[in-house]
Structure 1
């Protein structure tokens, strides 16, 4: 750093010190000036920020506006002499003209002013009206130091103003994250599950059931498909699910599990009940766990890990044998209860006004089906090859073509996410941030749609990545940006 001697400041300090000491005699107490040089407070003022508004013609329009950031906390590490905001400023904030408020042991604060990126810093006396350009700061930040009252420079602080490089609320996609095909080449009637760092896809190659898996890393990379051997010939691929850290599925009306990637009859399989479909499962905060299923004679049953019991009769479930999606959430106010959501498709003409949505509590014995007959209700969309996921504290639904009349503007496959924040009671199309890549996903889906029902599957992993597995085994991957930010506290 090129040093510029601040003669006025130093001269003032030294003259004051000389005057005091020259007048001293035995009757006057000597004054010793402090050598403290700490910065004790740092905050921002009002900054310019790029905003999105609506123009007169209804289109999105960018404009600049001022926003106060004085409440953004800055962490001062006195040991390492660093100052930064660990909660980054929003994307598109302009930090080239920054007014700061600094508290220190003395009012004499010197900072290394840089005029352009890569330029040399020049020591400059800071004032509260200085507009500082943090956009050209080096990686370690701008240098600030305090001049003590006895004329000694303190050890410098490095100050950084962190700004998000990505829109934190934007769902970012890698459309061709994996281009490795299934070993079976093509799978229809797919159901994907995730456990222990692996994605397992159950599907059919023609009439032959198959199970293949791939390991995915914490940074969202997949390493290709490995087939599971000796898959039972009568496997119901839509029944696959993870329960109590194991993968369960049905074959010939009996409950199977994967043990070390080997299919085997489960000890939990009921002796006197033939199962047609595994619907969902739920675990309460205190550890109680339940598995919900549908029998071959159209009864709903529940397994609590000890015994199977029949639910209240006459639960209305649509189109037995379809791929259901589910989500289960513990109740925040009662550790003994969890709520489970079941999502499906109406295939009959009478059901085209809405999709199928039901819920139940773990202390109940029946599914409660939502009634979307009210004309002012934001109904559940009726989606072919539907998928529902719980993501970012919301329920999201998407998939193939939509035939519910209320959603005629969103009928194309993979054109829109629908979101619910009230336990599936109402659903709204998402038009900003959480979206699909323009038309490309519809093309991927339609390329396999002629092969049969369920020509894709979807799963969310522990790192908040949404994985879509297409009919040929290629994969697309997405994540809301902020769900991938590392915690700084």
Structure 2
């Protein structure tokens, strides 16, 4: 009997203590991590609103539940912050969230409502509205100390598979160019193009795109075709010289070579070029010396017009890269060649392989001003149709064997292109499109999420 009375007295004392905590926000209790803390936070089952298309082609939505218990939450004990660095999917209902909180030493948890500013006891069975961060407080078992936390449940507010485009200010200088090529180097974007009998260049910051500065260096009319970047440098071939620059204005002569026609690709350690008789050569010393490349097919299949390249890392070896060379032959056929490049040794086979396929439905079409860039871990092809309309964006995720469309990849809405076209991808994974006097900058939403998440966790 005495044990029961003792238990009732202890229970009444505990209830009285917790009641006092809820009433007084400005009490004199101390904050001591050794006494109490939130040690784990997780979510329960959540609801997501998804888009769909009905059989008759109408847009519709439906709800689907998913288990969010494995979503990782980071607890910053020093600043009292709890949050999920990788946001929940778009459409997740964060206004009705079931959570699970674990505490040190069996601490008692309360939270402050964003609706009325009052404190309430926390319960795993009650859903919470996390459309805004919620203040949690955990009291020690004795009630003598507490810790405060600001808990956020982050969810994407944009659809992941959507390109978000921004139209930049028109540039009348670009309208006078008959052909163009865009190159991204570090924090700068360069546009080179033919204006009459010469190649001229312009540059802007990748954070700008509205203000362009004319470069003081000019080249011969067709030199724009072979200007490319390697690391922090620009390279070009003009008037029998290999040139390099870090700013586009001051160029240094690397070597003199009358056999070179244009640069076509670059890896981290090699430059590739076409010769005047349309052979493929390589330089492993920054353009000083050149050697013939080995091909597994006839050189007549090499691209000589609208040449682009895509560089990607080989799986499992950061020193080895995969070079994809894309363009159109002298006969007007779109072709793809591939080669491995090793930055450390020359032990790997360096033969170029012509990518062939008997699936004509998935071959790369012949686009005007064909431009291929690396994006979303794939090769992305763009350009113009014969009538100067925007040609369908096509992706290859298998090394150039097949090229297919993806609904997520689309041009700016109501885009009106000129009779020229060029594109590039900057280091922030923005795609730049320039056509006539028009300039656009766009990025796939989920690519931006990956970049933001990587920056937040580095």
Match of 2:176 in 1: 186
- The residue number in structure 2 matching 1:282 is 267
* Distance in 1 (alpha carbons) for counterparts of 2:265 and 2:216: 26
Structure 1 equivalent of residue 192 of structure 2: 202
Residue 418 of structure 1, CA deviation: 0.9
Question: In structure 1, what is the Cα distance between the partners aligned to 2:85 and 2:127?
Answer: 22
Match of 1:245 among 229, 232, 254: 232
Aligned position for 1:308: 290
- The equivalent residue for 1:125 is 121
The normalised TM-score by structure 1 is 0.77
Q: Are 1:134 and 2:130 counterparts?
A: yes
CA distance change for structure 1 residues 427 and 204 in 2, over 3 Å: closer, same or farther?
A: same
- Which residue in 1 is equivalent to 2:379? 395
Structure-2 change in CA distance of 1:342 and 1:467 (3 Å): same
Mapped to 2, the partners of 1:365 and 1:232 lie a distance apart of 32
| Structure 1 unpaired stretches of 5+ | 1-8, 19-34, 284-288, 403-410, 450-454
Q: Would you say the 8 A contact 1:37–1:145 is kept in 2?
A: no
Kindly indicate whether the alpha-carbon contact (under 8 Å) linking 1:192 and 1:200 is maintained by their aligned counterparts in 2: yes
Alpha carbons 2:303, 2:326 under 8 Å: kept: no
Equivalent residue number for residue 390 of structure 2: 414
Secondary structure in 2 matching 1:323: strand
CA shift for structure 1 position 339: 2.2
Q: Structure 1 residues 143 and 366, CA, compared in 2 at 3 Å: closer, same or farther?
A: closer
What secondary structure does 2:336 align onto? strand
- Secondary structure, aligned partner of 1:178: coil
1:399 aligned counterpart, secondary structure: strand
Aligned equivalents of 2:79, 2:100: Cα separation in 1: 21
Q: Which runs of 5+ in 2 are unaligned?
A: 1-7, 18-33, 342-347
Distance 2:371 2:445 in 1: 22
Say whether residues 1:430 and 2:413 are aligned partners.
Answer: no
How far apart are 1:484 and its partner, in Å?
A: 3.2
Aligned CA RMSD, in angstroms, stands at 3.0
Question: Residues 147, 263 of structure 1: CA spacing in aligned structure 2 closer, same or farther, 3 A cutoff?
Answer: closer
Q: Deviations over 1:32-81 (max 9, x none)?
A: xxx94422222111111111234222444211111111111222233333
Q: Deviations over 1:236-272 (max 9, x none)?
A: 21111113532222223432334654465622332xx
The answer to whether the 8 Å contact 1:256/1:269 transfers is no
Name the CA distance, whole Å, in 1 between partners of 2:79 and 2:291: 62
Where do 1:293-332 residues align within 5 Å? 293-305=273-285, 306-312=288-294, 314-317=298-301, 320=304, 322-332=305-315
Alignment partners' CA distance in 1, 2:185 and 2:281: 25
Task: Find the aligned partners of 1:215 and 1:427 in 2 and give their Cα distance.
Answer: 32
Q: Distance in 1 between matches of 2:138 and 2:217?
A: 73
Cα deviation for residue 483 of structure 1 reads 3.4
> Looking at CA atoms only, which structure, 1 or 2, has the larger radius of gyration?
1
Q: Is the 8 A contact 2:232 2:246 kept in 1?
A: no
* Distance in structure 1 (CA, Å) of the matches to 2:182 and 2:369: 13
Cα deviation, residue 336, structure 1: 5.4
Assess, with a 3 A threshold, how the Cα gap between structure 1 residues 65 and 121 changes in structure 2: closer, same or farther: same
Query: C-alpha displacement at 1:338, in angstroms?
Result: 2.8
Aligned residues: 419
Q: Is the 8 A contact 2:194 2:222 kept in 1?
A: no
TM-score (normalised: structure 2) = 0.82
Task: Evaluate the alpha carbon distance shift between residue 384 and residue 147 of structure 1 in structure 2; reply closer, same or farther with a 3 A threshold.
Answer: same
Shift of 1:13: 4.1
- Partner of 2:56, secondary structure, is coil
